Amino acid sequence: MQSIGERLEDARKRKGISLREASEATKIRTDFLANIEQDRFDFKLPEVYKRGFIKNYARYLKLDPETIVTDYNAHLLSRSANNPKISSALFGSMEMNTSPEDHNAEASYGRISAAPSSAKVNADTDAEEPVQTEQESDKVFYLKAGLTAIAVIALIFVIFILIKALLSSGADPLPDAPVADQTAAITATLESNTPRVPPSVNESITLIASGNVYVLVKQRDDNQELFRKTLSDGETVKISKKGPIDILFTAGEHLVIVNPAGDKLRPKGAGTAKISIP
């Protein structure tokens, strides 16, 4: 007749399951399963855990768990006959106390008290499934996985913000960006001092940079973009236009505009602004 371990091992091998796969499915350590299959039940665990492991393993392999546990109890009984420690753990200790005062009694047998040992195990009580320690380890694992996922999401969010900030640093000024106070004054001066030129005539303006300044020039009638660039110190560019134009810039203190009439215009304030030239 096959032993408990042999039956479990044969059932596992018939299903083509490795010890590692069985351990992952039952949440029982691989070395414990190997000891059970080798009928080595002396690993250091309370009997309630050993019974729970054996029962869970048998159920996983589609064997009758009650039969396997019954055979395991019989195995312990057979060992207890030769090992007083196992017998004490299974059935408790028996103390024979004879009373010294009853010397004249015709039949003095003493008193017998059954004191259950602290290591007593109830063979009829099924082990908790899954074992509490394994539940706690699973909780710790899921907690760590959750914290790791949150950290990864936070890192991705930070990287996204940094990329967006880098891209936006070189973006065009918004059309509705706040316009400096000097814009109206420059526009009014140009309109009052510069004679109107028919829109069909091609004209040109000149941009002179005294420092780094980002400039965007758009034709107002058809919204055509005539120029877009960051000018460096000393750089000059001539732009042809047809009709009124809007000039947006980021650093007015570094920009001089020469209009079609040859007048040099310099924004009175610093920072981002927009002016219009007819």
Asked if the structure places residue 123 within a domain, the reply is no
What is the total count of domains within the chain?
Answer: 3
Asked if the structure places residue 121 within a domain, the reply is no
Contact in structure between 187 and 209 (CB atoms under 8 Å)? no
**Predicted pLDDT of residue 170:** 55
In the three-class reduction of DSSP (H, G, I as helix; E, B as strand; rest coil), residue 10 is classed as helix
188 shares its domain with 165: no
| Among 177, 174, 191, residue whose Cα is nearest residue 265 | 191
165 shares its domain with 198: no
Would you write out the chain's pLDDT as a tens digit for each of its 278 residues?
A: 789 999 999 999 999 999 999 999 999 999 999 999 999 998 889 999 999 999 999 999 999 999 999 999 988 888 776 565 554 444 444 333 434 444 443 333 333 333 333 333 333 334 444 444 455 667 778 888 889 989 999 999 899 898 988 887 654 444 444 444 444 444 444 444 555 545 446 789 999 998 898 989 999 899 899 899 999 998 999 999 888 999 988 888 888 999 888 888 888 777 788 888 88
Domain that holds residue 147: 131-171
Cβ-Cβ contacts under 8 Å for 169 (sequence gap 6 or more): none
Strand order in the sheet with 273-277: 225-231, 213-219, 245-249, 273-277
To the nearest 10°, the Cα dihedral for 267, 268, 274, 275?
A: -60
Residue 49: both structure tokens together: 């855990």
15 shares its domain with 92: yes
**Predicted pLDDT of residue 136:** 63
| Among 119, 54, 51, residue whose Cα is nearest residue 84 | 119
CATH number, domain containing residue 27: 1.10.260.40
